[in-house]
A and B are shown apart, each in its own frame.
Chain A
Amino acid sequence: MSLNSKEKKSFEIFDFLYKYGTVVTIFILIIIFGASQKNFLQPSNIVNILRSISIVAIIAIGVTISLTVGGFDLSVGSTASVANAVVVSMFVWHNQVTWVSIIAALAAGVIIGMINSILIVKMKIPDMLLTLATMFIFQGVALTYTRGATISKNMIMQNGSFALGNIPDFFVKLGQVPWIIIIMITIIVIVHVFLTKTKHGRYMYVIGGNIEAARLLGIPVNKYKIYAYVLSALFAAIGGIILAARIQTAEINAGAPYLMDAVAAAYIGVSVGGVGKPNALGTFAGAILIGILQNGLIMLSVPYYMMDIVKGLVLAFALALTYWKKK
């Protein structure tokens, strides 16, 4: 009997950890960092953290949507690079106005999403492998498009002249506080409502839960898979655009480092609050966790080159939590 109750108790503790582990970890980190660094809890630093996670969070929302249909989009980092290059080149090379540049970058994202989804749906290539391939393809596309160089104001063009285009102030504002945070929160709220309150979101979760059952229910499975990958690429593109607004250049592979953070945030988010499914609010919590960790470790003077170790460990931990539960 005693054995039984003990088992039950440990089960409950694990259950609690599974549901609220992320939130608890965030608070523990805040307490630790807050105690050791008095600047950590300053409002300016909190805003700083929110600002630093916004691009990750936006891209992670895209990954989350691809996860809801049981897929996985590894190409988001490359997509962000492409969008980043397109939007900056529109300003600098082609001297376009803000809305044209942004629409061009978003269109690039949608095209990437279409390519991904059609290859997955029609050619039936497994999601992760296909997006691994397209990750390299679009990374290469971005590099080729920028001719392997950084695009920035007044850069020297191939014919020896200077680029004449300018990056408008309005666009630069999008990458600054408060707009960058407002954009992130808006996207999270919209996607949260979309996934939990509409039939489209429900269909996506049904497909992710059991694709064969979904098909035999008469749900247009392929259509929703296409939607999911287009949305995923679209949010990655928005991430790339905001990144461009922040740094006002198109660096080589600027989007690539966001892939791992975004995947980590989305997977951490699966368990938050016991939802057990990829979800927008959880992903936000995951992004906050990563942001706090990064910010706090920098404040504690942990060198930047060790950061990947920590982030990788966090991702491994989140995956352990998700898959251990599934057993």
Chain B
Amino acid sequence: MNTENTLFLDMKNISIEFPGVKALDNVSFTAKLGKVQAVVGANGAGKSTLMNVLSGAYNHFTGNIFIDGSKVNIKVPADAKKLGIQVVYQEVDTALIPYLTVAENILLDDIVNNMKDKLFLNWRDIHKQAAQVLKKLNIDISTKKYIYELTLAQKQMVLIARSICTKCKLLILDEPTAPLSHFETEELFRVVKDLKNNNVGVIFISHRLPELFQICDEVAVMRNGKIVTKRNIVETTQNQIVEDMLGRKLEDIFPKCKKEKGNRILEVVNLKDYNKLKDINLHLCRGEIIGIAGLVGAGKTELCKALFGDAKLISGKIILEGKNLILKSPYDAVKSGLALIPEERRKEGILANESIVTNISAANIETFSKHFGFLDFVGERNAAKKIIKTLGIQTPDENRAVGLLSGGNQQKVVIGKWLDTNAKIFIFDEPTKGVDVGAKREIFNLINKLAMDGKGVIYASCELSEIIGIADRIYVIYDGEIVKELDTDSTSEEELLFYSTGGK
């Protein structure tokens, strides 16, 4: 018998509803042992909901789940674990305890649940067991290290190690590569391949389509709570997957447009900060989009923050329209006409519990305040309505709390709030993070329009293909230093990757 192709999981006619939404609509899904099954879809398509049903986080669904051919009842997460279904969620930090060692974290389940009457821990045994698990995965991390000393990728490895140290037949990886750098992703894939060879089934959720072709066997595409297609990876292409996700033909995601390059608006000379940046030199013209390309941790965010007055500088000058800027805080930066769309949208970009109106007016509340600082509520509301319309923000009305919108729409609100200000330079830090393909295109359109209106745009991202698509000129940053300046027309993704991984 060929165990490699055993049908392990069979979910039949799964439906689930939340107040007002049918999150899953008659979904049937299967997974095999020893295979990597990809699940892709736009934000809100139902990927996470499906995995939550499988892992026991939701229990009010209809339909049946079969494991190894027999019907099972998954009502709480413990049920799923008993059946050998393990999940590694995207937010690895929530599942790990930072001031315990790697070994303790790997064996946490065991320590918590299987101690019974024992009072004392057998440390040598714990470290030995943990080391064995790590060795099985070919992961080189000391079991004595503390979690807070590890990188994000290493933390993920620890979580994977934890899931396989108990019974694990099916491992769900929820967007594992989103925060990882290029090398870390390779490392993760090596571990996934090892697992596959050990006859573990893997469900792999990702927004990054190219990597599916490296690692997956089958790909299921979800849209609006349904699985729309399921194909063998060798029989499909990236464009086809995108079309399935969108439900329509993919137009060119990067809109072509004519831009008038104006005079120089911003110049940065020998910028150096206490943290990461070394001798940054760059310049930006009106109507131009410059890309800051670099891998995760290269110093893109630090550069964006430094330009926005949110870093302690050792030396260097920021010259805006010929005048030397002294930025002590983001307050000064906004006053001088800079706008930042920060990387951590939820943490730094939106006021999740406030309405769209409040979010949009927050950047230029001065416009709406009259004598003694009294607010003009009507003007504020109308301005918000206008921006909702021009940006096509999908929402029932302008009073909706921004935290309830989808990722793409949240990002539009974050960008939208700067549109009515006197901002001349827009700094985008990873604006497409966690945004689905459809919304990405709209955001690129918006960025292009800003440039056409004569604004200067700085676009920092680790998605190299996106940088090439949107930017006119690219600076490659590596380890806090700008190592190369490239013209988009005469470069390629390979060249960008070469320089951003430290090539010289």
A209 and B353 form a contact (CB under 8 A)? yes
A213 and B349 form a contact (CB under 8 A)? yes
B335 and A198 form a contact (CB under 8 A)? no
The answer to whether B493 has its CB under 8 Å from any CB of chain A is no
The answer to whether A220 has its CB under 8 Å from any CB of chain B is yes
B331 and A220 form a contact (CB under 8 A)? yes
B330 and A216 form a contact (CB under 8 A)? yes
B353 and A4 form a contact (CB under 8 A)? no
The answer to whether A274 has its CB under 8 Å from any CB of chain B is no
Report which of A199, A215, A217, A220 forms a contact with B375, defined as CB distance below 8 A.
A199
A202 and B358 form a contact (CB under 8 A)? yes
How many angstroms from the CA of A214 to the CA of B63 in the assembled complex? 45
**A215 cross-chain contacts in B, Cβ below 8 A:** 310, 329-330
A209 and B351 form a contact (CB under 8 A)? yes
B330 and A210 form a contact (CB under 8 A)? no
**B358 cross-chain contacts in A, Cβ below 8 A:** 202, 205-206
Q: Mark A193-209, 1 if CB is under 8 A from B, else 0.
A: 00001111011011001
Interface of A: prevailing SS = helix
Report which of B333, B347, B354, B365 forms a contact with A203, defined as CB distance below 8 A.
B365
Report which of B335, B349, B352, B353 forms a contact with A218, defined as CB distance below 8 A.
B335
A198 and B351 form a contact (CB under 8 A)? no
B365 and A218 form a contact (CB under 8 A)? no
Report which of B348, B350, B374 forms a contact with A197, defined as CB distance below 8 A.
B374
A210 and B350 form a contact (CB under 8 A)? yes
**A308 cross-chain contacts in B, Cβ below 8 A:** none
The answer to whether B287 has its CB under 8 Å from any CB of chain A is no
A218 and B348 form a contact (CB under 8 A)? no
Give the total of A residues in contact with B, Cβ under 8 Å: 25
Q: Mark A176-203, 1 if CB is under 8 A from B, else 0.
A: 0000000000000000000001111011
A199 and B330 form a contact (CB under 8 A)? no
B374 and A212 form a contact (CB under 8 A)? no
Whole-angstrom distance from the CB of A207 to the nearest CB of chain B? Answer: 10
**A210 cross-chain contacts in B, Cβ below 8 A:** 347-348, 350-352
Q: Mark A33-66, 1 if CB is under 8 A from B, else 0.
A: 0000000000000000000000000000000000
B351 and A197 form a contact (CB under 8 A)? no
| Given A4-B17, A206-B354, A209-B354, A217-B334 contact (CB < 8 Å) | yes
The answer to whether B308 has its CB under 8 Å from any CB of chain A is yes
Report which of A7, A212, A218 forms a contact with B363, defined as CB distance below 8 A.
A218
The answer to whether B471 has its CB under 8 Å from any CB of chain A is no
Q: Which residue of A lies closest to B363 (CB)?
A: A217
The answer to whether A317 has its CB under 8 Å from any CB of chain B is no
In the assembled complex, 13 residue pairs joining A and B whose CB atoms fall closer than 8 Å, in A order, are A4-B17, A4-B60, A197-B374, A199-B375, A202-B362, A206-B351, A210-B350, A213-B350, A216-B310, A216-B340, A216-B349, A217-B330, A218-B333
The answer to whether A3 has its CB under 8 Å from any CB of chain B is yes
A209 and B352 form a contact (CB under 8 A)? yes
How many angstroms from the CA of A216 to the CA of B308 in the assembled complex? 8
Q: Which residue of B lies closest to A222 (CB)?
A: B329
Q: Mark A208-233, 1 if CB is under 8 A from B, else 0.
A: 01101111111110000000000000
How many angstroms from the CA of A219 to the CA of B333 in the assembled complex? 11
Contacts A209-B353, A213-B348 known; 5 new A-B pairs at CB < 8 A: A198-B374, A199-B366, A213-B351, A214-B351, A214-B362
Q: Which residue of B lies closest to A218 (CB)?
A: B334
Q: Which residue of A lies closest to B369 (CB)?
A: A199
B348 and A276 form a contact (CB under 8 A)? no
A218 and B331 form a contact (CB under 8 A)? yes
Whole-angstrom distance from the CB of B434 to the nearest CB of chain A? Answer: 16
